[in-house]
Structure 1
Amino acid sequence: MGSWWSKENSSPGKDLRVFIQNSLWPFEDCWIQIEHAVNTICDVLQNPQEFPLVQEVAKGGSYGRGTVLRGKSDGTLVVLLSGFKQSGDEKISQREIILDKIWKRVEDLKHSMALEYNLQTQRSQGRLILQLSTKWQSIIFEVLPAFNTLGFSTKPSPQIYRELKKFSHSTAAYPGEFLVCFTKLQQKFFNNCPRNLKDLILLVKYWYQKCVKEMDKSSQLPQYALELLTVYAWEQGCGQDQFDIAEGIRTVLGLIKQYEHLCVYWTVYYNFEDVTVRKILHSQLWAQRPVILDPTNPKNNVSQDKNECWAQLNLKAHEWLSSLCLDDKSPGPSWNILPTTLYATPGHRLDKFIHKFLQPSQNFLDQTSKAIDIICKFLREKCFQRSEDQKIKIQDIIRGGSTAKGTALKSGSDADLIVLPESLKSFPSQKHNRFRIIKEIHKELEACQQEKKFKVKFEISKQKAPGVLSFSLKSIEFDAELEERVKFDVLFAFNVLGQWDSVSPPSPSVYAELIQLYESSDYVEGEFSSCFTGLQRDFIISRPTKLKSLICLVKHWYKQCERKLKGKGSLPPKYALELLTVYAWEKGSEAPDFHTAEGFQAVLELVTKYRQLCVFWLVNYNFEDVTVGKFLLAQIQKTRPVILDPAEPTGDVGGGDRWCWHLLAQEAKAWLLSSLCFKDGRRCPVNSWDVPTSQTLESYGAKLHHDLAEMLSSGS
């Protein structure tokens, strides 16, 4: 099976496109003949004098979707009728009359025209089959009369799906009748797919046909299911008109390997807003995986009862990908996507979802840690040793970001390496020396990349942001179901904390100096937050493991919203959601073990109440110092939301009106209304934590409140 691919594999992306064009596209002259024949037949069927009830002929199947393979393929001609609403025997009888009339008319057409193609008809009870053939192409069409459910609308109303649910329970409904009513929508759905995506679909279908020859044919999968899976892979992982076709096929096969988790659906023609449609969707999304819903018809799970076939395809996909492993033991890059959505994951399965799909493997974390040890040691020993700045010494390198905190995501997380040069003695010196020092560190990282060997792939970013140097480490393990990657930002900072022992809080003078600089210069908020990376890391790392897992879940939710809302406005920083999650847990639970769905619900409820949020901590700074105390008091009186960085008081990541919290709140409301995340195993709503939206000074004790009152009354 791998021979057809290996032949094209010397340069996969380029050669696969040539392979598709030369071997999978129908020949142009054959295609023109078939299109002419189809259009002729459709014109006859839409002649109001001969067929007065016919409103339109919709083209479906591979033909209608534009995914016809060279050789043999399928299609449907759905004859959309007005007044076709009878039930029971009367409906079946009328259907037979219509098919007989169409069959006789096509027979007349076949004998009355000198055709450049071969047209065969087959009439049996309940079915009419037309086979159009040219020298190199054959398409078998089934002709299906159907009620014109959609009328002339371009987007169905919820009422159509409510009627669909009602009619589907009727025993008089012809099997599959209501599926074909949505053929026009299917055609429209695929018309929006770019040409390269349809080429990828052809390749996936060709691969499937190769597999079928070696498989048990008793329970084959509809090719429509693989077409939809390919569209899903492209939408979630790429979305560009131009892409590497080899990456696309690897991604689709990677999803097939995870068929037991597949849950794929769209909300372009129906969604969760209507109560009846929401119930249909929930019923489908609760079903045993794999689930692939027709984007035009929520009652049509195109992969239902095909587990035996999926299991066989899984073996073929694994075998095929294994045969393609490169020198680094990986089959090559693919798109980072999940086989299921968080939205459709019931609350009692959230812990498994986090472990399976969000958290990096321990092996990758271990390899990353070893790689970072090598890089840090290299920088300590070699940095500035080959430059004019040999007098500069590195005091320490602080690890920060989600990887250091234990909240990294498998699909890509951030991490920080904060280099602390001995020569920087103040905040201003950090600002003035950034470009020179970063340039030197960049040079040393490139040398490290050449001189050291890593068990993870080490890539230095070519993007040049001011004062920041980035590189990434990614997994090269073949069996990784999702490419694991961590992006590192290398920054340098003034060692403001000195020999801080991480047990007691920093000296108040540190914050007083920062505040004075903030209030008296062109200081940009957060400009010196890198100096407090160790405090940010330790604030999270000391928390229970399950809270860090909840943070991972909230960050994944945030990334989903970020993708959906792209271009609509600036969302608050992800760090704000991390801190909000900690706050929700502190005020709502504080237990090391808790129900993840309850915590997730509490966080989203806080997001919906963003205009009331005032969240801060007094673990590293407090009101004891006059300068710091007055500044904090001013901070917490600002426009809501206020969420202060527990490591650095000038950092308000709530931001008041600075960010578009309302967009995030709208998404949170929608999720709270209809996501399965907030249903337990019995499909009952989960409980939520009772979390106050505003932190009060009184909660820190009467003495603090009294001291602040005295501070204000004295005018200090």
Structure 2
Amino acid sequence: MGNWLAGGSSEELSGGSSEELSGGLSYLTSVPAHKLEEFIQANLTPNEECLKLIDQDVDDISNFLLSSEITVVRVAKGGSYGRGTVLRGYSDGTLVLFVNCFHSFGDQKAYQHLRIHWIEQLLKHHEKYNKPKKLGNILEIQLSVQGQSILLQLLPAFDPLCFGENPSSQVYRNLKSSMDQVRAAPGEFSVCFTTLQEQFFKRYPRRVKDLILLVKHWYQECRKRMTSPSLQLLYALELLTVYAWEQGCQTEDFNIAEGIRTVLGLIKQSSKLCVYWTVNYNFENETVRNTLLCQLRTQRPVILDPTDPTNNVGEDNDRNWQMLTEAAQDWLCSLGQNDMPPAPCWNVLPTPLFITPSHLLDTFIEDFLQPDETFLNQIKKAVDIICTFLKENCFRHSSTKVLKTVKGGSTAKGTALKYGSDADIVVFLSSLESYESQKQERPQFVQEIRRQLEAFQQTQKLEVKFEVSKWKAPRVLSFTLKSRNLNESVDFDVLPAYDALGQLYSGFTSRPKAYKELIELYRSSDISGGEFSTCFTELQRNFIEPRPTKLKSLIRLVKHWYKQYERKMKSKASLPPKYALELLVMYAWEHGSGLEDFDTAEGFRTVLDLVIKYPQLCIFWMVNYNFNEEPMRTFLLTQIRKKRPVILDPADPTGDVGGGDHWCWHLLAEEAEKWLSSPCFDSKPGQSIQPWKVPVVQTPGSCGAQIYPTVAEGRPVGIQLWNENAGRSF
């Protein structure tokens, strides 16, 4: 393989051969994935002392021009130099000179050439940098220190930010208006927002910038095959790397191999890429919103400059993107060959849901959320491995027997998302003979399964990584499984449980007894609602699994929306469980459509509407339990009188996944309100998708239940339920 750590600097942006410097693209792809970080530090990271000397030169030029008569009032550092993504050897940079004689964007376009000429004449009096190179309206100065060079461009510009203040929507309205007046090209005035660009990149950890260096080095290795390589495309790849980390990781100490695999995977999907940020501009102002939507609806790839909504830096020669796509595939293959098993990639979609038009929601689900056969086979293999272990190996020397194992969670219900392979297995044990024994003895069975699995993996060449439980008496064994039979790792939750229902298909008769015992225990002890929901895993699965495929696709869409917000919150608040959202989707469809072929945008809009109306929600089903007999009738009446929202688990009457004020529904409702302005719900210009008409409150009567009056002291007394939130009875 050769000594790749002895490689030199990256290819120069102007002249030079990458093969002379670092052995070419094949040289880079020979680096093993687990050695990439070492490669970056040894070959790509610039020398700090060299950068300090270059900083001194830049400051010297800045101070010289600031003290001149051409009234430069402020300078900003841009390009790779300003963003802190300088490659060792040779890199680009800009020095933006904000002059007070430019009072508008139009002034910059009309008189920039004059200021360029004056700056050129002024620099001729500088003792060191008196021979700048002029290329059209650009002045260039080469800064070189001990093997580190920066090609610095000097650009006079209008300052729209009032000396670095955060931009208002008025700034971007003026930008759009000026561009229309002077017929400026998209992104022509991006240089005016260099300060914002510098601030944008300062927010990211050093390790993210190391990943950017690796991507840039790879790009420069690819340049010799391009028809017209550009700094704009280089900037696009920097932004794509930031996007990959933001959407898929957000931790400072991440795996470089996972990061590069994610970026290369996004490049492979360049024809679907639509990347943007709303840190400096957003959809609130109508003019800015229309500008943004116009850009986001253009031909892919779209990678918007986070400081200038008119500047699509992803817009480039199609041949260049095609070449990068092919090179990305080659490198991904080499990473897989050099490391067994290959490092996983982060779950990052090339297109955000928020800007997906309503008529493309089904395509979005199919392309990005629907699991493929590879995923499903992966889960099946992993489940088979663990179920075989539980049945045949785990308790073979014990009096405890495995009565059955049941696959639960989203994979069992058919609502799993494409990425994030996870599997729940409920193992029903003969030694757990009651709810009480499950609560008391479950921790010891969790520990026993772990001990046996640790021994089992030694003989089966498996790799198991256990998650440390925060509970002293853990209810679940969480671990990650790797195997030669699996393409990637699978996350597992194994839950020991009491077989309350016995043989489920022996009939309905076992359920009243199971529920009666559960209610008695719930009333007489301090157990929380839903404590024993694992006992009813089959009922939960059977409630959703037979439903139409399109309904399960809508569940996937809502779960994706939820997970995106959950990631943005970074666990700052306790959000409602995903299962509550699944049940809301079911309820919305049952009461609003009921058709197998419905409008996905209408269904999505209805679910968000229910989230917004959370203080009124009272939802339950009567598929596994009902109001016909005591004590279930009295118990259910008590449950639906709780503080809203109330959403009862259709398999477990003690499980109120609405939770009243236990969860931060108000935060989810605020997010839902923001999404009402999404293009997801635009049907025609000036018209928006409307939700289905769905009642937010259910009563026993509305479900067809017959609640007969009771008798007290010889007089009939009707049953009255009080809605604490709405202040009315039913």
Work out whether the TM-score is over 0.5.
yes
| Contact 1:219–1:306 (Cα < 8 Å) also in 2 | no
The equivalent position to 2:94 in structure 1, one of 76, 83, 91, is: 76
Q: Does 1:319 align with 2:330?
A: yes
- Secondary structure of 1:420's partner? strand
Identify the residue that residue 708 of structure 2 maps to in structure 1.
Answer: 707
Counterpart residue type for residue 105 of structure 1: L
Counterpart residue type for residue 251 of structure 1: T
Matches within 5 A, 1:686-705: 686-701=689-704, 704-705=705-706
> 1: CA distance between counterparts of 2:535 and 2:592?
31
CA deviation after TM superposition for structure 1 residue 331, in Å: 3.7
Counterpart residue type for residue 641 of structure 1: P
Most deviating of 626-635 and 233-242:
233-242
Q: Does 1:36 align with 2:38?
A: no
> 2: CA distance between counterparts of 1:700 and 1:199?
60
Number of residue pairs matched by the alignment: 691
> 2: CA distance between counterparts of 1:654 and 1:471?
28
- Secondary structure of 2:288's partner? helix
> 2: CA distance between counterparts of 1:448 and 1:328?
25
> 1: CA distance between counterparts of 2:150 and 2:507?
75
Identify the residue that residue 115 of structure 2 maps to in structure 1.
Answer: 98
The equivalent position to 1:570 in structure 2, one of 568, 574, 593, is: 574
Identify the residue that residue 678 of structure 1 maps to in structure 2.
Answer: 681
> 1: CA distance between counterparts of 2:36 and 2:363?
37
Taking structure 1 as reference, are residues 414 and 699 closer, same or farther at Cα in structure 2, changes over 3 Å only?
A: farther
> 2: CA distance between counterparts of 1:238 and 1:700?
45
> 1: CA distance between counterparts of 2:385 and 2:252?
40
Counterpart residue type for residue 435 of structure 2: F
Q: Does 1:621 align with 2:625?
A: yes
- Secondary structure of 1:638's partner? coil
CA deviation after TM superposition for structure 1 residue 452, in Å: 4.6
- Secondary structure of 2:701's partner? helix
| Contact 1:346–1:681 (Cα < 8 Å) also in 2 | no
Residues 436-462 of structure 1, C-alpha deviation per residue, up to 9 Å, x if partnerless? 222222233334444457xxx863424
TM-score (norm 1): 0.90
CA deviation after TM superposition for structure 1 residue 142, in Å: 2.3
> 2: CA distance between counterparts of 1:292 and 1:175?
13
Counterpart residue type for residue 518 of structure 2: L
The equivalent position to 1:198 in structure 2, one of 203, 209, 226, is: 209
Identify the residue that residue 296 of structure 1 maps to in structure 2.
Answer: 307
> 1: CA distance between counterparts of 2:186 and 2:628?
76
| Contact 1:505–1:621 (Cα < 8 Å) also in 2 | no
| Contact 1:119–1:133 (Cα < 8 Å) also in 2 | no
Residues 344-377 of structure 1, C-alpha deviation per residue, up to 9 Å, x if partnerless? 2222222222222222221331342244234323
Identify the residue that residue 656 of structure 1 maps to in structure 2.
Answer: 660
Identify the residue that residue 461 of structure 1 maps to in structure 2.
Answer: 466
| Contact 1:392–1:423 (Cα < 8 Å) also in 2 | yes
CA deviation after TM superposition for structure 1 residue 394, in Å: 1.9
Taking structure 1 as reference, are residues 312 and 638 closer, same or farther at Cα in structure 2, changes over 3 Å only?
A: same
Residues 399-434 of structure 1, C-alpha deviation per residue, up to 9 Å, x if partnerless? 211111001112225432111122322211212211
- Secondary structure of 2:119's partner? helix
CA RMSD of superposed structures (Å): 2.7
> 2: CA distance between counterparts of 1:124 and 1:208?
24
> 1: CA distance between counterparts of 2:297 and 2:361?
14
CA deviation after TM superposition for structure 1 residue 160, in Å: 0.4
Matches within 5 A, 1:269-288: 269-288=280-299
| Contact 2:434–2:498 (Cα < 8 Å) also in 1 | yes
> 2: CA distance between counterparts of 1:169 and 1:607?
41
Identify the residue that residue 65 of structure 2 maps to in structure 1.
Answer: 45
Counterpart residue type for residue 469 of structure 1: L
| Contact 1:99–1:145 (Cα < 8 Å) also in 2 | yes
> 2: CA distance between counterparts of 1:400 and 1:561?
24
Taking structure 1 as reference, are residues 172 and 632 closer, same or farther at Cα in structure 2, changes over 3 Å only?
A: closer
- Secondary structure of 1:507's partner? helix
Identify the residue that residue 451 of structure 2 maps to in structure 1.
Answer: 443
Taking structure 1 as reference, are residues 177 and 410 closer, same or farther at Cα in structure 2, changes over 3 Å only?
A: closer
Identify the residue that residue 18 of structure 2 maps to in structure 1.
Answer: none
> 2: CA distance between counterparts of 1:87 and 1:604?
41
Most deviating of 638-647 and 305-314:
305-314
Structure 2: stretches of 5+ with no match in the other structure: 1-23, 720-730
| Contact 1:571–1:661 (Cα < 8 Å) also in 2 | yes
CA deviation after TM superposition for structure 1 residue 327, in Å: 7.3
Identify the residue that residue 5 of structure 1 maps to in structure 2.
Answer: 28
> 2: CA distance between counterparts of 1:382 and 1:476?
20
Identify the residue that residue 542 of structure 1 maps to in structure 2.
Answer: 546
The equivalent position to 1:393 in structure 2, one of 391, 397, 401, is: 401
- Secondary structure of 1:514's partner? helix
Identity %: 54
TM-score (norm 2): 0.89
Taking structure 1 as reference, are residues 533 and 122 closer, same or farther at Cα in structure 2, changes over 3 Å only?
A: same
Residues 173-204 of structure 1, C-alpha deviation per residue, up to 9 Å, x if partnerless? 58854211101110111122222221211111
Counterpart residue type for residue 138 of structure 1: S
> 1: CA distance between counterparts of 2:449 and 2:185?
71
Most deviating of 569-578 and 339-348:
339-348
Most deviating of 308-317 and 217-226:
217-226
